[in-house]
């Protein structure tokens, strides 16, 4: 048994209560002090030679981020409109420069050679850091689209948000620029110029030579991958056809003396193949009204071998009243199967703004509704009663010789 306290929560940054990056907010509960105390301490330590700033950056880099809606300066940009976030960034930069100039006149200053390049590089580093953090979120693979056959190769794609390239580019430029400025200020650049030029020329030459090969390699890899996917799809298709269509055809040959059975088999196979071609997964009816109706009808078709056509206009999620509606529709279809012998049955469902209607119609002999004895509970209880209980209505329209139609209405 874990005793509270023996396994304390790991140290995390707390972006939900962050002012800058949530370091203080994350540390404070562990140390048992108010975050404000820590913040003041950090600011004071920063003023005294920058130790605080350094410590803060180290903590920020080391502490994993905790849960919570991010707040604070570092994510301000993502929550402000673009223009405003640029203004905020510009403001922060100007403030920083003002503070630095102030420190410079006071003499709290290392040297121009160190501070300015460091600042440039730090700004660039921060940019890159932020972008890399964001791209991690994007890395989760996009939901696999339904494809014929389902079990496809899951493709993992790293998608960087588009602006992140610009951000990362700017960051890299700033870091490199910082380095160059440092070299230039210390005078190391003039000495290194000849070497740099030589290296540059060599790199360009190698690039020119290798680029065609590299392009061909990339193209070859893509082709190879496409070919593999194609082969896989072909294998899948063959497996599916073998499992379903060939099996059914074999079964039909064996049952050739029973036309009813053959028709039912053919119909079932047709339905499965259609579902498969349309990218649905068999055995997993959609959790919607139309999906449930189709599943119910498929079951009745299988059990009784009577063709039932479902036409659905609109759709809605399957909640409890809708399930009752589907159950009532199922009873109506079963009733039609029983009394209309082998005549085809139509099921029509329409989802309107405020109500759902389902019609179950058969072309059977029909009957005289008034002549049905009161103790016959089939339609009355399982259809009419069920609809009543869920605030809906059921009507039976029938006349001898004109078929039967059961109308189910349910408000949403």
Partner 1 sequence: MSAPRVVLVDDHQLFRAGVRAELEGLVEVVGDAATVGEAIECIVATEPDVVLLDVQMPGGGGAEVIRGVTPRRPAVRFLALSVSDAPEDVIAIIRAGARGYVTKTISGPELADAVRRVADGDAVFSPRLAGFVLDAFAGGMSEREVDPQLDQLTAREREVLRHIARGYLYKEIAQRLSISTKTVEAHVSAVLRKLQLSNRHELSRWAVERRLVE
Q: Tell me which residues touch partner 1 (CB under 8 A).
A: 146, 274, 278-280, 307, 309, 311-314, 344-346, 348, 350, 359, 361, 363, 402, 405
Pairwise CA distance, residues 406 & 359, whole Å: 6
One-letter-per-residue 3-state SS of 259-287: HHHHHHHHHHHHHHHHHHHCCCCCCCCCC
**Radius of gyration of the chain, Cα coordinates, nearest whole angstrom:** 36
Nearer to partner 1, 195 or 256 (CB): 256
| Token pair listed for 4 | 């509270």
DSSP H helices, 150-288, are 162-186, 188-241, 247-254, 259-277
Shortest distance in whole angstroms from residue 351 CB to partner 1: 9
Q: How many whole angstroms from its chain centre is CA 313?
A: 27
Question: How far apart (Å, rounded) are the C-alpha atoms in residues 349 and 290?
Answer: 8
Q: In whole angstroms, how close is the CB of 390 to partner 1 at the nearest point?
A: 22
The backbone torsions φ and ψ at residue 144, rounded to the nearest 5 degrees and listed phi first, read -65, 130
Q: How far is the CB of 140 from partner 1 (least distance, A)?
A: 22
CB within 8 A of 150, min separation 6: which ones? 281
Our CB check for partner 1 shows the closer of 19 and 343 to be 343
CB of 70 vs partner 1, minimal distance in Å: 34
Contacts of 408 (CB under 8 A, 6+ apart): 325, 328, 329, 332, 357, 358, 359, 360, 383, 387, 392, 393, 394
Residue 268 gets the label, from left (phi > 0), alpha (psi -120 to 50) or beta, of alpha
Is 28 or 292 the residue whose CB approaches partner 1 more closely?
292
By beta-carbon proximity to partner 1, the closer residue of 24 and 360 is 360
Nearer to partner 1, 4 or 353 (CB): 353
Q: How far is the CB of 303 from partner 1 (least distance, A)?
A: 20
- Residue 284 CB, shortest distance to partner 1, in Å, is 13
List beta partners, residue 404: 362, 398
| Residue with Cβ nearer partner 1 (272 or 405) | 405
Which of 207, 279 has the CB closer to partner 1? 279
Nearest-angstrom CA–CA distance, 293 and 329: 8
Q: Provide, rounded to whole angstroms, the least separation between the CB of residue 311 and partner 1.
A: 4
């Amino acid at each position: 048994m874990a005793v509270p306290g023996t396994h304390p929560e790991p140290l995390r940054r707390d972006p939900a209560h962050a002012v800058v990056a949530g370091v203080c907010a994350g540390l404070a509960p562990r140390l048992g002090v108010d975050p404000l105390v820590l913040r003041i301490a950090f600011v004071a330590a920063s003023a005294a030679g920058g130790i605080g700033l350094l410590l803060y950056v180290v903590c920020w880099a080391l502490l994993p981020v905790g849960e919570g809606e991010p707040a604070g300066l570092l994510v301000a940009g993502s929550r402000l409109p673009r223009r405003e976030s640029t203004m905020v960034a510009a403001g922060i930069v100007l403030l920083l420069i003002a503070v630095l100039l102030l420190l410079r006149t006071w003499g709290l200053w290392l040297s121009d050679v160190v501070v300015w390049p460091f600042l440039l590089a730090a700004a660039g580093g921060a940019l890159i850091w932020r972008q890399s953090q964001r791209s991690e979120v994007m890395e989760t693979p996009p939901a696999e689209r339904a494809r014929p056959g389902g079990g496809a190769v899951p493709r993992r794609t790293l998608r960087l948000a588009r602006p992140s390239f610009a951000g990362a580019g700017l960051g890299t430029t700033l870091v490199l620029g910082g380095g160059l400025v440092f070299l230039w200020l210390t005078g190391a650049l003039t000495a290194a110029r000849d070497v740099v030029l030589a290296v540059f020329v060599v790199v360009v030459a190698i690039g020119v030579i290798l680029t065609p090969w590299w392009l061909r390699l990339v193209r070859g890899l893509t082709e190879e991958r496409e070919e593999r996917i194609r082969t896989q799809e072909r294998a899948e298709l063959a497996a599916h056809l073998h499992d379903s269509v060939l099996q059914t055809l074999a079964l039909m040959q064996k049952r050739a003396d029973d036309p009813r059975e053959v028709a039912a088999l053919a119909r079932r196979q047709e339905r499965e193949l259609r579902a498969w071609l349309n990218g649905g997964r068999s055995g997993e009816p959609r959790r919607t009204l139309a999906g449930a109706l189709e599943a119910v009808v498929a079951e009745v078709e299988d059990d009784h071998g009577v063709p039932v056509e479902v036409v659905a206009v609109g759709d809605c999620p399957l909640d409890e009243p809708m399930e009752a509606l589907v159950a009532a529709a199922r009873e109506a279809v079963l009733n039609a199967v029983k009394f209309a012998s082998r005549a085809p049955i139509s099921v029509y469902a329409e989802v309107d703004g405020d109500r759902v209607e389902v019609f179950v119609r058969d072309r059977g002999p029909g009957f005289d509704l008034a002549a049905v004895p009161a103790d016959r509970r089939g339609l009355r209880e399982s259809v009419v009663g069920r609809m009543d209980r869920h605030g809906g209505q059921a009507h039976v329209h029938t006349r001898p010789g004109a078929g039967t139609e059961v109308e189910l209405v349910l408000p949403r």
